[in-house]
Amino acid sequence: MNDLLDIVKKIGFFLFSIILGWLLWLGFTTFSDIPSFIFPGPKDVWDKFLSVLNNGSLFFHTMITLQEVLLGLILGLGTAIVTGYFLAKSRLVERVLAPYIVASQSIPVVAIAPLLVIWLGPGILSKILTSALIVFFPVLVNTIVGLRSVPEELYDLMKSLQASPWQRIFKLEIPAAMPVFLGGLRIGATLAVIGAVVGEFVAADKGLGFLVNVGRGLYDTSLVFVAVFTLVILAIGLYGSVVFLESRVLSWQKKNGDHSTSVRR
Amino acid sequence: MKKFFLVLIVLLVLFLSACSGNTSSQPEAGELTHIRLPMGYIPNVQYAPFYTAVEKGFFTEEGIELEFDYSYETDGVALVGANELQFSVVSGEQVPIARAEGLPIVYVMAWYEKYPVAVISMTDQNIHIPEDLAGKRVGLPGLFGANYVGLRALLGAGNLQESDLTLDSIGFNQVEILASGTDEAVVGYIANEPVQLKAQGYDIDVILVADYLDLVSNGIITNEITLSENPALVQRMVSAILKGIQYAVENPEEAFEICKIYVEGLEDADQEVQMEVLRESIKLYQTDPYGYSHPDAWANMQDVLIRMELMKKEINLEDAYTNDFSR
């Protein structure tokens, strides 16, 4: 009963927050003399949303961006996990690669995105790579932290049980590192959207970033708002998916009393 | 909760102060009117007339203190349309597009006579006329802006459709993309990319849009409020820029030297190449008479934009521009 009440409360606050935001937006655009090409009202944006939804262009551009984001996420995750594993396991590898990895993170993706277009061409690949680049670092760091947080005594336990290297990875390291890794994935999932859009801003003829550019070029600020809101929903959707994944993957952790380093049986 | 409301109030105050409108006023005797001028691009030798006009005191003579603003062209247009700023440098196609969307901007002075967009290709591609673009892979910064409009105008002149060729959105990487052979042709500014490619030793062919269709090109816009409430300011602004254009045309070497004050890195750049960029730019200027924009160029521009569906409806072009301030 209490759980149900909690859910109703949460939904209530969420709706209240949305309605309050909508009212403030409506009030601001109605009572100020600011023109709609600078700051459109909710009705202008809603009408534009329906228009691009009905003609199919919103769906088309959203699917393009989603494709870039998911492929970028997969590439970024894969690279970060493999690199992170070796960095966590070998101080030597860490010492050799760390300067490059840290230096690469000090370069804004937006600065190298035009170069990626030159190197990889103007197609989808450059957008996937900008997305992967931005995902890479947080996932890498969390993978390393997750793996290094496994207590030594658990390794000793695995050794005493004569576990094979694969058993050690799958029965100890992956479950133990998972909570921290998923924390990195949460950040990475939302950053992947930013990465793809940065790529689209530089050079694209499709995708939500392109739609923002078109809206700006035509002084159609409502279209910019629609594209931006869609990007927000996309990012929230991805974040929610990771949270859901977390609740499923880490359900064993709760059952075991929230000991993040418990060995999975 | 108290904090939440405090934040809300602060946000509202910020919003209201942001939309409080135009703050400029008529200058008192001897006082300079401060004008922030969006240029639409990064500091570049192509802006030599403006830099020259400042350094030669033409703006001061007209009672204007000029501040350069290198933000996006569309931002400049929107700010002028909202009467947050009084003037902006824009490409001609922006005026009908913006007016069709309800932005009350007016083009008051032509800087370029010729539309500066061109299709550039390596000579071995044998692209000499628009018809030669059929079946080719063409790179352009994006499907918006002057490059796209220029290309579509050229395709129209060659009775081609967009579907007759493959378009690649490549950002502002035309030189690299053409040099690497990724695309068979690229769309760029006649005074920029062709000069850079030639300087690197490439043999290129160029098709200039202006050779096929007269389109209204780069110039200065203001808004209807400034035009009706302060036409003297518009006249002063236009006069100062026209003097700058004339001076740069007559003294290109000196104008180039002046550019070094404003364009960071110009001192260390290839002087011959940069001087060539300026010479090519000067060839495009509207000089006879200075500042005049031709009605046919406006009509052509509107036709192209409607064909491209960048404008949903025709606008009254007479409201979109005036030659009253040019000479």
Interval B125-173: pLDDT, tens = 999 999 999 999 999 998 888 999 999 999 999 999 999 999 999 988 8
A109 in the same domain as A18: no
Tokens (6 digits) for B138: 């063409």
- Residue A13 domain flag: yes
Which helix (H) or strand (E) is A230 found in, with range? helix A221-249
> Which residues of A are less than 8 Å from B149 in CB distance?
none
For B34-113+217-320, CATH number?
Answer: 3.40.190.10
Q: Which of A34, A122, A213 is nearest residue B168 as measured by Cβ atoms?
A: A122
Give the distance, in angstroms, between the CA of residue B158 and the centroid of all CA atoms in the same chain. 25
Give A54 or B17, the one with higher predicted confidence.
A54
Q: Which of B19, B172, B173 is nearest residue A33 as measured by Cβ atoms?
A: B19
CB A175 within 8 A of CB A242: no
> Which residues of A are less than 8 Å from B81 in CB distance?
35, 37, 219
CB pair distance less than 8 Å for A114 and B77: no
Phi, psi (5° rounding) for residue B223? -120, 165
Cβ–Cβ contact A218 with B under 8 A: yes
Which residue in chain A has the smallest CA separation from B141? A203
The confidence score (pLDDT) of residue B2 equals 47
pLDDT tens track for A156-170: 888 888 888 888 888
The confidence score (pLDDT) of residue A161 equals 87
Which helix (H) or strand (E) is B36 found in, with range? strand B33-40
Q: For residue B95, which of B208, B220, B213 has the smallest C-alpha distance?
A: B220
ipTM of the predicted assembly exceeds 0.85: no
The neighbour count for residue B101, using CB atoms within 10 Å, is: 20
> Which pLDDT band holds residue A107 (cuts at 50, 70, 90)?
confident
CB B182 within 8 A of CB B140: no
The confidence score (pLDDT) of residue B85 equals 95
Looking at every residue in chain B, the average pLDDT score rounds to 89
Which residue in chain B has the smallest CA separation from A20? B8
Mean pLDDT check: name the lowest of A47-61, A130-144, A248-262, B193-207.
A248-262
A144 in the same domain as A15: no
Judging by DSSP bridges, how do beta strands B137-140 and B185-189 pair with one another? Answer: parallel
The confidence score (pLDDT) of residue B260 equals 95
Residue B14 has pLDDT above 70, yes or no: no
Task: Give how far Cα B140 sits from Cα of A102, A250, B173, B182, Å.
Answer: 34, 49, 8, 12
How many angstroms separate the CA of residue B78 from the nearest CA in chain A? 7
A248 in the same domain as A141: yes
Tell me which of A218, A221, A223 to substitute to probe the interface with B (most B C-beta atoms closer than 10 Å).
A218
The confidence score (pLDDT) of residue B25 equals 41
A101 in the same domain as A84: yes
A68 in the same domain as A27: no
The confidence score (pLDDT) of residue B317 equals 95
Separation of alpha carbons B230 and B219, rounded Å? 19
Separation of alpha carbons B252 and B257, rounded Å? 9
Mean pLDDT of all residues in A79-87: 92
Contacts of A151 (CB under 8 A, 6+ apart): A261
pLDDT tens track for B183-229: 999 999 999 999 999 999 999 999 999 999 999 999 999 999 999 99
Cβ–Cβ contact A214 with B under 8 A: yes
Residue A255 has pLDDT above 70, yes or no: no
The confidence score (pLDDT) of residue B58 equals 97
Give the distance, in angstroms, between the CA of residue A136 and the centroid of all CA atoms in the same chain. 11
A78 in the same domain as A11: no
- Residue A262 domain flag: no
Separation of alpha carbons A245 and A228, rounded Å? 26
The confidence score (pLDDT) of residue B327 equals 64
> Which pLDDT band holds residue A101 (cuts at 50, 70, 90)?
confident
> Which pLDDT band holds residue B30 (cuts at 50, 70, 90)?
low
Residue B268 has pLDDT above 90, yes or no: no
Residue B26 has pLDDT above 50, yes or no: no
> Which pLDDT band holds residue B8 (cuts at 50, 70, 90)?
very low
- Residue A265 domain flag: no
The confidence score (pLDDT) of residue B20 equals 40
The confidence score (pLDDT) of residue B109 equals 96
Q: For residue A67, which of A252, A204, A253, A219 has the smallest C-alpha distance?
A: A204
How many residues make up chain B in this entry? 327
Tell me which of B84, B93, B143 to substitute to probe the interface with A (most A C-beta atoms closer than 10 Å).
B143
Give B133 or B10, the one with higher predicted confidence.
B133
- Residue A240 domain flag: yes
A213 in the same domain as A139: yes
CATH classification at residue A244: 1.10.3720.10
Which residue in chain B has the smallest CA separation from A35? B82
The confidence score (pLDDT) of residue B122 equals 97
3-state secondary structure of A123: coil
Separation of alpha carbons B167 and B185, rounded Å? 10
The reply to whether B34-113+217-320 and B117-211 are identical in fold is yes
Give B174 or B25, the one with higher predicted confidence.
B174
The confidence score (pLDDT) of residue A257 equals 53
Separation of alpha carbons B219 and B213, rounded Å? 18
Percent of chain A clearing pLDDT 90 (strictly above): 47
**pTM for the predicted model, two decimal places:** 0.79
A108 in the same domain as A65: yes
Mean pLDDT of all residues in A77-90: 91
Domain boundaries, chain B: 34-113+217-320, 117-211
- Residue A96 domain flag: yes
Name the B residues in 44-103 with CB < 8 Å from any A CB. 72, 74, 77-78, 81-82, 97-98, 101-103
How many angstroms separate the CA of residue B60 from the nearest CA in chain A? 32
> Which residues of A are less than 8 Å from B173 in CB distance?
114, 117-118, 203
Separation of alpha carbons A110 and A260, rounded Å? 37
A121 in the same domain as A7: no
Contacts of B214 (CB under 8 A, 6+ apart): B115, B294, B296, B297, B300
Cβ–Cβ contact B167 with A under 8 A: yes
Top-level CATH class of B117-211? alpha beta
3-state secondary structure of A58: helix
Quote the number of domains for chain A: 2
Q: Which letter, b or e, does each residue of A57-94 get, where b requires 16 or more Cβ atoms within 10 Å of its Cβ?
A: bbeebbebbbebbbbbbebbbebbbebbbebbeeeeee
CB B318 within 8 A of CB B92: no
CB pair distance less than 8 Å for B81 and A35: yes
> Which pLDDT band holds residue B24 (cuts at 50, 70, 90)?
very low
- Residue A263 domain flag: no
A3 in the same domain as A49: no
Residue A127 has pLDDT above 50, yes or no: yes
> Which residues of B are less than 8 Å from A121 in CB distance?
168, 182
Residue B254 has pLDDT above 50, yes or no: yes
Which helix (H) or strand (E) is A57 found in, with range? helix A57-89
Q: Which letter, b or e, does each residue of A4-38 get, where b requires 16 or more Cβ atoms within 10 Å of its Cβ?
A: eeeeeeeeeeeeeeeeeeeeeeeebbeebebbbbb
Give A31 or B20, the one with higher predicted confidence.
A31
For chain B, first and last CA: distance in Å? 63
> Which pLDDT band holds residue A254 (cuts at 50, 70, 90)?
low
3-state secondary structure of B158: coil
CB pair distance less than 8 Å for B143 and A117: no
CB pair distance less than 8 Å for A121 and B182: yes
CB A236 within 8 A of CB A229: no
A65 in the same domain as A1: no
How many angstroms separate the CA of residue A79 from the nearest CA in chain B? 27
The confidence score (pLDDT) of residue B203 equals 95
Lookup result for tokens 């409009």: B149
> Which residues of A are less than 8 Å from B171 in CB distance?
114, 117, 122, 202-203
Separation of alpha carbons A163 and A52, rounded Å? 57
Cβ–Cβ contact A217 with B under 8 A: yes
The confidence score (pLDDT) of residue B18 equals 43
pLDDT tens track for A169-200: 888 888 888 888 898 899 999 999 999 999 99
A209 in the same domain as A99: yes
Domain range holding A76? Answer: 41-255
Q: Which of A32, A37, A216 is nearest residue B81 as measured by Cβ atoms?
A: A37
